[in-house]
Amino acid sequence: MSAPKKVVLAYSGGLDTSIILKWLQTEYGCEVVTFTADLGQGEELEPARAKAELLGIKSENIYIEDVREEFVRDFVFPMFRANTLYEGLYLLGTSIARPLISKRLVEIAKETGADAVAHGATGKGNDQVRFELSAYALNPEIQVIAPWREWDLTSRTKLIEFAEAHQIPIAKDKRGEAPFSVDANLLHTSSEGKALEDPAAEAPEYVYQRTVSPEEAPNEPEFIEVTFEKGDAVAINGEAMSPATILTKLNELGGKHGIGRLDFVENRFVGMKSRGIYETPGGTVLLEAHRGIEQITLDAGAGHLKDSIMPRYAELIYNGFWFSPEREMLQALIDKSQENVTGTVRLKLYKGSATTVGRWSDYSLYSEKHVTFEEDAGAYDQKDAAGFIRLNALRLKLIATRNRRVAEKG
Amino acid sequence: MSAPKKVVLAYSGGLDTSIILKWLQTEYGCEVVTFTADLGQGEELEPARAKAELLGIKSENIYIEDVREEFVRDFVFPMFRANTLYEGLYLLGTSIARPLISKRLVEIAKETGADAVAHGATGKGNDQVRFELSAYALNPEIQVIAPWREWDLTSRTKLIEFAEAHQIPIAKDKRGEAPFSVDANLLHTSSEGKALEDPAAEAPEYVYQRTVSPEEAPNEPEFIEVTFEKGDAVAINGEAMSPATILTKLNELGGKHGIGRLDFVENRFVGMKSRGIYETPGGTVLLEAHRGIEQITLDAGAGHLKDSIMPRYAELIYNGFWFSPEREMLQALIDKSQENVTGTVRLKLYKGSATTVGRWSDYSLYSEKHVTFEEDAGAYDQKDAAGFIRLNALRLKLIATRNRRVAEKG
Amino acid sequence: MSAPKKVVLAYSGGLDTSIILKWLQTEYGCEVVTFTADLGQGEELEPARAKAELLGIKSENIYIEDVREEFVRDFVFPMFRANTLYEGLYLLGTSIARPLISKRLVEIAKETGADAVAHGATGKGNDQVRFELSAYALNPEIQVIAPWREWDLTSRTKLIEFAEAHQIPIAKDKRGEAPFSVDANLLHTSSEGKALEDPAAEAPEYVYQRTVSPEEAPNEPEFIEVTFEKGDAVAINGEAMSPATILTKLNELGGKHGIGRLDFVENRFVGMKSRGIYETPGGTVLLEAHRGIEQITLDAGAGHLKDSIMPRYAELIYNGFWFSPEREMLQALIDKSQENVTGTVRLKLYKGSATTVGRWSDYSLYSEKHVTFEEDAGAYDQKDAAGFIRLNALRLKLIATRNRRVAEKG
Amino acid sequence: MSAPKKVVLAYSGGLDTSIILKWLQTEYGCEVVTFTADLGQGEELEPARAKAELLGIKSENIYIEDVREEFVRDFVFPMFRANTLYEGLYLLGTSIARPLISKRLVEIAKETGADAVAHGATGKGNDQVRFELSAYALNPEIQVIAPWREWDLTSRTKLIEFAEAHQIPIAKDKRGEAPFSVDANLLHTSSEGKALEDPAAEAPEYVYQRTVSPEEAPNEPEFIEVTFEKGDAVAINGEAMSPATILTKLNELGGKHGIGRLDFVENRFVGMKSRGIYETPGGTVLLEAHRGIEQITLDAGAGHLKDSIMPRYAELIYNGFWFSPEREMLQALIDKSQENVTGTVRLKLYKGSATTVGRWSDYSLYSEKHVTFEEDAGAYDQKDAAGFIRLNALRLKLIATRNRRVAEKG
């Protein structure tokens, strides 16, 4: 691997990525292009521009973009079509954002003639994998620089020294170590590390950043209606909205009602377990709603097939294989299933829970005529069930007969 | 099929199964044996004895049994080892009880020399399938009689007329139609039909029978600790209990906090959709706790494999294939995974939610030494991740290179 | 179910379907439309027209069609994209033809205003299921008549009597029972029943109809090249051909070399086992070739995912669910994988075997540069493997450490 | 990682592992223990002892063992219970031997107080992964040394120079490069690399080492009978034999008839494709026979479940995860299925093919009474099929009705 000449850095404007920026300049003597994305993390982006300029980045090398709509439309929503949960519980809020960042890094590298990209993820986590697999899948020639795996700035003290030595501004509250590490975007906020490393100890309330505690949530439930078209949410309470607007609105509703908190110990792709505190208010509501609408619009064949491949799909996203043939194959399967997932779900939001209380659709497969306990006017002939059961039982009977025969023989 | 001479009937003591009892006597002229099981449905069993005697059943033909421990130990707990959910949400409370009933029906048939068994399930539902597949799997020669599929008592009026004509006592509140149909056992209560047939309409509060509404639940959370051994709950708050006692206690706790309600539209095995209201208070707590302990005791290989086969396992139980080779094969896989699922989970119960807030175990795979953000004393070499990622990326790079080559040619 | 007024019958022109034709007329007094398809079964179709006319069918009610191209293009080829084998060995030659026949029956019913379709499959087999599931999926209002499940012509004698009574011509060799039952189309010939019912006894040579025995095959191998585009065969030995022409040619080649015989005991969907003798000469060659081209054009992610869903896909086709959401979802997944399955395979055909001996493609992912035992000029850094292995091993080490710790304590 | 003090080396006695032996001594100054296993590779082991002694290994540090029975009984047979094929075709002959070697290396390390093990696999292949994952899973503290990833002996010339410099005897035919690389054990022989690296070019006949070409095989077929108990072969032609004896005998039979050759391009775990020529004569016969006996002893539920997890099981073995929780879980599932896989299969061996021509068993589920085309005396009621089909069709009808309704609405 030759030394990179021009590097596109995923740049937040914070202290750590500022140190990386400077380190790239000094270590490799390379030109740095910064990419700062608004993924809905709730921070102003313009300060990142000022900071980048201060650190000597040419203005044509500063990319600041609002990618929230693309994020929700092309990443979050496709994932929610599968009712995706990693290890039964986790909504993959961090995982799903990484491929989009890598995609833009690689695209900007092409635009600017850069030969490398760089990210601020450590060598212990999943994010490095996600960033790099995506980058390599999109450009097999690209170099990826992961400073945390390379440098010797292995303590807070060394980092601060490096920052001071290179005139990187240090906010007062950044001198000490943060009590835990935070990642946020429009889908979720995750907190992990340090104060949260003991999985036996309850996470303190101050960890939570975008949801009130269920105890602090309103004492009255709130009812909302979410409308779907082909598997994607398109309206709340009858008002059509763009993907990012819908997720923003659901976050607001979910957060207010203390919905979407998760204290979770998960298996990282790199082989160790970690504990995270996740807040996914809008996503939690959206998952419940999507399941509600699928209940009446998907038949058993489609629904069960989707369910059976979901764990693998979730694993692929978690492990960083968004841009892989197998994820795209599974997506083709999932998207095929969503053609009639259109209709409206009514949900009750109350003190930490989002629960479906009603659902209706022009595409409904629910047939009151068939299921009714009342007279069904011949819609269903109960005698059919006898043959259905007898043929389903036939192989079980043959087994039992065999077992009996063998047992008698001894 | 020759006419049955002696039939073992799953008998609740209620009006419907009393009518069936009498109908069997009159239609087939056969001797009837009654089997009434305490599965934790919360009803006295002795009245069933009196009722059976009144209807002419010989006392040696009346079987009344408390099978709660067997139910939880041999059916509910094995199922929970898999974190089983049907269609993403349903804890299978009805499904899991049917094989046990069939097993006892077939065993009693053998003891009493009966050549048939009978049940009170209708021809539209899943329970007929579950009863009958289990019965045939356990005795391939047994006859199964399903009066609802055979007789012409197709309206409430005709049933009442039949009851009156045969001196079957009719409780006053049973003359009219119930507003919905209820099934209950130690794991859950289900309500469906009639008043609940419109899946768009919220189920009224009076439907719920063993959980308070979240709004009525205590304003203070309650914390409990559930201890597991090899995947099964064995103690609550440090107090060892039998399986049925544990589930009873969890039901009490869950019910008090409004936990475990589900408004659900599901796909029946017989091909139609139905809407049910389920209450599974203890089971919902148990599932959350079991997931919590698996988080630290199962590695990714075991956990993901379990997750991937769970939907199929759930489908088998739902469809009535408990006594089938494939369910037993999956059970062997699941049980193998539970050998080290031992430890304790701390849960918060509050207004409809049970959430894990801590877990610990002598069998924990969580390694703070590896995951820590702090100096890890060489437990983990971050440079390993570079090779890990590069080899995981290799095939993606080869694909990208191929695609680029083809595009350039094309 | 009201009596049908007009029925479209899948009509072969043979004795059995002629009896059905007449039985429909006499039993239901209904108008009959005949549909006779050339699926490559190797029989003249025009005699069926004469026979139908003789039995009183109006000429506008006689449909005779060559559907071979549609059969191969829209049914056989999509199935082969998945390397489909039922129960590890069977190429589904009968199963895949049924949905096409049902599709045309339903379409002709619409064109002719018929309210029912009829087929000649018995009540013991899979074909009835396949015909009827397809028909119902394409027209939920259609009636399906399966005379073999309804009538009392339950012996050869009764059938012959009925034929004689209704002036149905009986070929001399049809008076007695055939020694076994045969089904054929462009993909395969199956033989089953009667003389073949003992699965311990080797099938006699005279059963085989379109393959020579390996012993009788040429003593010299023959080499051929099959070219694929997007997963479908498009040329043999460089000569472009239509789908049906390719399969015809492969049949000729395979049959000549004794390829594609299978003596098989399978699990029918209706619950029993049956034994069949299958001959799929061209299909066997095609499967081998398709695997050969996938070997260099599919990566592990795509290939392994395909492999993992194939058994389910095969089961769906075998069981008659071609026209189902889940088959279509799986097809979407499979088709997505085939976008680059383009290239050529060289095969050796010799005395019962078709084996790949070479393959090449512009879309190849095989990289001699990477795999070479020789100096690779930096294409691959062997040191990467160390990190790759260490992180893959991490969870296994954590398990071993846990087990050791527990054992020491215990 | 501290320098190893004592290393157990997987030692063949050949030039390459002799160089490794000496390199370990000189590079690390460590004591070397050699382990040479008879896995049925067909080479004398005693020369390895002499060679090791010559290279200065103390006699108590030389382990030479015949592990053929353990190999077949505990590794090959369990794998064959699953009808395991990697990527549809490969019988995993190399993969399945590696865990056994690692197991003995780790055990000998414990016995001899060694702190490391070493192997001669390169950094490009799968074998390094298999050796090391197994070693780490069995002893999380063990060091693994892979000289090919570490040293600078990167050309044949350097290797020979090193050997000469260290008085390692060099057989004349080892001075030049072998035209391809060979691995062999009782299950198979693999050949790959160099002369075989072009996947378009047919492998020359001289590559094959333990099978005659089909053209050279006898002109008369040979018939044999293989008997199974609980899924494992126990006798050939009625003669009971030990596992390794059976496989040896099947190899002889298969090899004589040109059975079990495979020209294959596979996906390595490390991300690249490679081409191998495999000869698995006995294994190919065994797989065919095992399938034959399963055809009559497994029902559809068991068989289809096995089929559906097989690709994952194969992938685990191929990737080196034999000693992993998930492989053991899948094994539990598979073994559960084999309880009644007992009986005898008759096979025809002829010019490259092994085909089942008959099978019988006391445990057979095949019921001629049910399947017969003749009068079945009420074993099966064809009318049951009508209900069976109608209920299987119900959801398809509901979908079709929905689609029609939606289409009409427009």
Nearest alpha carbon to residue B272 among A266, A86, A373: A373
User: Given D367, D395, D398, which is nearest A398 (Cβ)?
Assistant: D367
User: Looking at residues D203-231, what average pLDDT do you find?
Assistant: 97
If pLDDT is split at 50, 70 and 90, which confidence band does A217 have?
Answer: very high
Q: What is the pLDDT of residues D105-140, one digit of tens each?
A: 999 999 999 999 999 999 999 999 999 999 999 999
> In what helix (H) or strand (E) does residue D191 lie, and over which residues does it extend?
strand D189-192
D264 min Cα distance to partner chain A (Å): 22
Residues of A in contact with B311 (CB under 8 A): 304, 307-308, 310
Residues of D in contact with A392 (CB under 8 A): 388
If pLDDT is split at 50, 70 and 90, which confidence band does B186 have?
Answer: very high
pTM: 0.98
Residue A401 clears pLDDT 80, i.e. is over it: yes
Question: Among A166-180, C255-269, D16-30, which is the least confidently predicted range?
Answer: A166-180
Residues of A in contact with B130 (CB under 8 A): none
Q: CA D306, CA C238: separation in Å to the nearest integer?
A: 40
- Inspect the interface and report whether the beta carbons of B385 and C381 lie closer than 8 Å: no
Mean confidence (pLDDT) of chain C: 96
Residue C53 clears pLDDT 80, i.e. is over it: yes
Q: Is B181 a catalytic residue?
A: yes
- Inspect the interface and report whether the beta carbons of A364 and D402 lie closer than 8 Å: yes
Which residues of A are documented as binding site for L-aspartate? 122, 126-127
CA distances from D246 to B146, D66, D251, D253, D255 (A): 53, 16, 8, 11, 14
ipTM of the complex: 0.96
Q: What pLDDT does residue A178 have?
A: 84
Q: What pLDDT does residue A245 have?
A: 98
User: Looking at residues D194-211, what average pLDDT do you find?
Assistant: 95
- C392 shares contact with chain A (CB less than 8 Å): yes
User: Looking at residues D300-318, what average pLDDT do you find?
Assistant: 98
Q: CA B70, CA B243: separation in Å to the nearest integer?
A: 9
* CA B287 distance to own-chain centroid: 12
Q: CA C93, CA C202: separation in Å to the nearest integer?
A: 21
User: Given D315, D358, D373, which is nearest C193 (Cβ)?
Assistant: D373
User: Looking at residues A367-380, what average pLDDT do you find?
Assistant: 84
- Inspect the interface and report whether the beta carbons of B197 and A273 lie closer than 8 Å: no
Chains that touch A (3 or more CB pairs under 8 A): B, C, D
- Identify the burial level of B174 via C-beta atoms within 10 angstroms of its C-beta, where 0-12 means exposed, 13-18 middle and 19 or more buried: middle
Nearest alpha carbon to residue C252 among C192, C311, C287, C210: C210
User: Looking at residues B283-312, what average pLDDT do you find?
Assistant: 98
Nearest alpha carbon to residue A186 among A326, A75, A320, A332: A75
Residues of B in contact with A387 (CB under 8 A): none
A192, closest residue in chain B (CA to CA)? B373
Torsion angle defined by CA atoms of residues D156, D158, D163 and D164, in that order, rounded to the nearest 10 degrees: 110
Q: CA A87, CA A76: separation in Å to the nearest integer?
A: 18
Question: Among C43-47, D181-185, D234-238, which is the least confidently predicted range?
Answer: C43-47
Task: Count CB-CB contacts under 10 A for residue B190.
Answer: 21
Q: What pLDDT does residue B150 have?
A: 94
Q: CA C19, CA C163: separation in Å to the nearest integer?
A: 6
Question: Among B226-230, C131-135, D193-197, which is the least confidently predicted range?
Answer: D193-197
Residue B409 clears pLDDT 90, i.e. is over it: no
- Measure the CA angle with vertex C168, ends C163 and C172; round to 5°: 85
- Identify the burial level of D401 via C-beta atoms within 10 angstroms of its C-beta, where 0-12 means exposed, 13-18 middle and 19 or more buried: middle
Q: What pLDDT does residue D375 have?
A: 77
- B149 shares contact with chain A (CB less than 8 Å): yes
Q: What is the pLDDT of residues B203-220, one digit of tens each?
A: 999 999 999 999 999 999
Q: What pLDDT does residue D315 have?
A: 98
Residues of A in contact with D303 (CB under 8 A): none
Residue B373 clears pLDDT 90, i.e. is over it: no
The percent of residues above 70 in pLDDT, for chain A, comes to 100
Residue C87 clears pLDDT 70, i.e. is over it: yes
Q: CA A218, CA A348: separation in Å to the nearest integer?
A: 13
Question: Which letter, b or e, does each residue of C251-264 get, where b requires 16 or more Cβ atoms within 10 Å of its Cβ?
Answer: bebbbbbbbbbbbb
B315 min Cα distance to partner chain A (Å): 8
User: Given D271, D326, D333, which is nearest B391 (Cβ)?
Assistant: D271
The percent of residues above 90 in pLDDT, for chain C, comes to 91
Structure tokens, B218: 């205590």
Q: CA D107, CA D97: separation in Å to the nearest integer?
A: 16
- Inspect the interface and report whether the beta carbons of B336 and D336 lie closer than 8 Å: no
User: Looking at residues C353-360, what average pLDDT do you find?
Assistant: 98
Q: CA D242, CA C228: separation in Å to the nearest integer?
A: 46
User: Looking at residues B224-245, what average pLDDT do you find?
Assistant: 98
User: Looking at residues A119-145, what average pLDDT do you find?
Assistant: 97
Q: CA B44, CA A130: separation in Å to the nearest integer?
A: 59
- Inspect the interface and report whether the beta carbons of B330 and D325 lie closer than 8 Å: no
User: Looking at residues B264-292, what average pLDDT do you find?
Assistant: 98
List, in sequence order, the alpha helices (H) in A8-93: 15-28, 46-54, 68-71, 77-80
Residue C136 clears pLDDT 80, i.e. is over it: yes
Residues of B in contact with C364 (CB under 8 A): 402
Q: What pLDDT does residue D1 have?
A: 60
Write out residues 301-320 of C within 8 Å (CB-CB) of D: 303-304, 307-308, 310-312, 315, 320
- Rg of chain C over Cα atoms, rounded to whole angstroms, equals 26
Q: What is the pLDDT of residues C382-396, one digit of tens each?
A: 999 999 999 999 999
Q: Is C381 a catalytic residue?
A: no
If pLDDT is split at 50, 70 and 90, which confidence band does C1 have?
Answer: low
- Inspect the interface and report whether the beta carbons of A329 and C321 lie closer than 8 Å: no
- A408 shares contact with chain D (CB less than 8 Å): no
Instruction: Give the type of residue at D264.
Output: F
Interface mutation target, options C324, C371, C388, C389, chain B, most CBs of B under 10 Å: C388
Single out the catalytic residue among C38, C68, C127, C327: C127
- Inspect the interface and report whether the beta carbons of D374 and C194 lie closer than 8 Å: yes
If pLDDT is split at 50, 70 and 90, which confidence band does B12 have?
Answer: very high
Structure tokens, B133: 């597949």
D265, closest residue in chain C (CA to CA)? C295
Q: What pLDDT does residue A1 have?
A: 60
User: Given D267, D303, D374, which is nearest C299 (Cβ)?
Assistant: D267
Write out residues 251-270 of A within 8 Å (CB-CB) of C: 267, 270
User: Looking at residues B364-371, what average pLDDT do you find?
Assistant: 91
Single out the catalytic residue among B181, B268, B291, B324: B181
Q: What pLDDT does residue B1 have?
A: 60
User: Given D299, D384, D387, which is nearest A399 (Cβ)?
Assistant: D299
Length of chain C: 410
> In what helix (H) or strand (E) does residue C276 lie, and over which residues does it extend?
strand C273-279
C54 min Cα distance to partner chain D (Å): 29
Instruction: Give the type of residue at B253.
Output: L
Q: What pLDDT does residue C374 have?
A: 76
Residue B352 clears pLDDT 70, i.e. is over it: yes
Which residues of B are documented as binding site for L-citrulline? 90, 95, 126, 130, 181, 190, 266, 278
The percent of residues above 90 in pLDDT, for chain D, comes to 90
User: Looking at residues D36-55, what average pLDDT do you find?
Assistant: 94
The DSSP output letter for B95 is G
